[in-house]
Amino acid sequence: MNTTASASEQTVAQFPIESLVLGRSYRRELGDLTDLTTSIQTLGLLCPIVITSDGVLISGRRRLEVMRQLGHATVPVWIASEVSDKLRTLLAIQDDNFLHKHFTTTEKAALYAEYKTLLTEENARRQAATRFGAAALPDSDDGEADDTDPDEREAMIVATYQGSGSGRWDSQPPSKRKSRVQAATAVTGRDSSQQLEQVLALERLATNEDEDERVRRAAAEAVVEINGDAKVHGRYHEVIALRGVCWLEKTAVNETATAAVREAADDELRAVRQIDRPVERSRAVAAAIARVRKLALTPTSAATTAESGESGAEDDGMSADGVRGRYHARRLVDILAKAEGWWEINDAALVGQYATVEQWDAITRHRDQANAFLDTAAHARGATSGAGVLP
């Protein structure tokens, strides 16, 4: 769509600046207007701004601002009469801005969110039309909208740590027929929906009064920094990890939680704080919270099971030590699962020949500690088995 080419066929008219409608402006940062101001003062406005027939600005936000600052009451305009409905206006605005000052990342995210909403509505209208015999338009969703519940979608986006990560929003490639992919492609020219969703999630966290103050502040700072260098992924995971750490901290001192749950949260905190990489820390926090939550739901008696509504068959009637033991076993298995198969992907002979002294010391120290751990665990398991209480 080439708005300028279409608009150029129109007659240039003078339009009152105060009568122009900016609507929702996606360009919040106009940049340095000095050179543009000098040009307009010297040569006049060489390229009229473009508006719809009802006075909504499509192209020329920066030129309009300069004309306003220079004290002009009217501005030369081209009226693009063929641009009438909201979606076409939005497309025209985007088309124009591809050729001018680039949007910031948050401006792209705002435009993407609006596109997604409008495309969902547009696709629903197309689907309704096809029900009455009209042909579906090329590259359309055929009305396929994101029908996820808003609360559920928010949970997926900001990773509320339900499980190990499989099935989460950021672990699944979005369907190419979804409106969010169409919207992202329209804004950035590629499927950047995950990145833009992360930006929107950070903006929500920054303004959500229910979040910890540290999370809100970190999210707000991340949004500002993202506009500077457009690096989203790492910052997003930093904030998500911090959000999880805050949850673990509160759980560790929550007097309404059991002692086992508080101790588990404290143990998990110490572990995740040793992880430096944002993405790895975020995933570790997600797994930690899943374990603590499962522990919190583990009944210690049949009465607790009936009251909570959980089946709890696996741990029914277990003592407090038993509940803690199951938790520690789950955590250890989670850790071992991440290293599964290391003996197959590493050549033992080459490691033995070429490991540095420090590396070999670390390997043998790990072996010695693991052997000591297993000896203690095996002894305790043997005693439990002998007493006839092995689960």
- Domain with residue 25: its CATH number is 3.90.1530.10
Q: How far apart are CA 169 and CA 157, in angstroms?
A: 6
Domain count, the chain: 4
- Same-domain pairing of 262 and 315: yes
Residue whose structure tokens are 């099935």: 167
- Domain closes at, from 83, 102, 121: 102
Helices 105-130/213-229 angle, 10° precision: 90
Lowest mean pLDDT among 92-96, 300-304, 348-352: 300-304
pLDDT band at 145 (very low <50, low <70, confident <90, very high): very low
Q: How far apart are CA 20 and CA 54, in angstroms?
A: 9
Residue whose structure tokens are 């030369």: 76
pLDDT above 50: residue 37: yes
- Same-domain pairing of 221 and 315: no
- Same-domain pairing of 94 and 35: yes
pLDDT of residue 300: 56
pLDDT above 90: residue 210: yes
Average pLDDT over residues 26-51: 78
DSSP β-ladder status, 57-59 and 74-80: unpaired
- Same-domain pairing of 160 and 260: no
pLDDT above 70: residue 15: yes
pLDDT of residue 307: 42
- Domain closes at, from 172, 201, 227: 227
Lowest mean pLDDT among 133-147, 176-190, 306-320, 347-361: 133-147
**What's the number of CA atoms in the CB half-sphere (13 Å) around residue 29?**
13
pLDDT band at 173 (very low <50, low <70, confident <90, very high): very low
Question: Do residues 185 and 191 touch, judged by C-beta distance below 8 A?
Answer: yes
Average pLDDT over residues 157-165: 38
pLDDT of residue 389: 52
pLDDT of residue 79: 79
Q: How far apart are CA 206 and CA 228, in angstroms?
A: 17
Average predicted confidence (pLDDT) for the chain: 75
pLDDT of residue 151: 40
Q: Which of 83-87, 109-113, 150-154 has the highest mean pLDDT?
A: 109-113
Phi first, then psi: what are they for 191, rounded to 5°? -80, 85
The pTM assigned to this predicted structure is 0.51
- Same-domain pairing of 208 and 285: no
- Same-domain pairing of 238 and 322: yes
pLDDT of residue 114: 83
pLDDT above 80: residue 277: yes
Lowest mean pLDDT among 12-16, 174-178, 266-270: 174-178
Q: How far apart are CA 193 and CA 112, in angstroms?
A: 8
- Same-domain pairing of 120 and 172: yes
Residue 9's Cα: distance from chain center in Å? 43
DSSP β-ladder status, 49-52 and 74-80: parallel
pLDDT of residue 174: 39
- Same-domain pairing of 220 and 238: no
Average pLDDT over residues 127-141: 51
Question: Do residues 210 and 200 touch, judged by C-beta distance below 8 A?
Answer: no
Average pLDDT over residues 352-366: 93
- Same-domain pairing of 298 and 322: yes
More confident residue, 33 or 178: 33
Lowest mean pLDDT among 156-165, 348-357, 379-388: 156-165
pLDDT digits (tens, 9 = 90+) for 302-337: 334 444 444 444 444 556 677 677 778 888 888 888
Tell me how many degrees the CA angle 351-353-356 measures, rounded to the nearest 5.
75
pLDDT of residue 130: 61
- Same-domain pairing of 131 and 172: yes
Average pLDDT over residues 189-217: 92
Question: Do residues 38 and 45 touch, judged by C-beta distance below 8 A?
Answer: no
pLDDT of residue 239: 96
Residue 203 φ/ψ region, left for φ over 0, alpha for ψ in the -120 to 50 degree band, beta for the rest = alpha
pLDDT of residue 24: 55
The strand pairing partners of 75, in sequence order, are 15
- Same-domain pairing of 63 and 152: no
Q: What is the domain range of residue 109? A: 104-227
- Domain closes at, from 227, 255, 278: 227
Lowest mean pLDDT among 67-81, 102-116, 166-180, 218-232: 166-180
Tell me how many degrees the CA angle 331-334-339 measures, rounded to the nearest 5.
135
- Same-domain pairing of 209 and 241: no
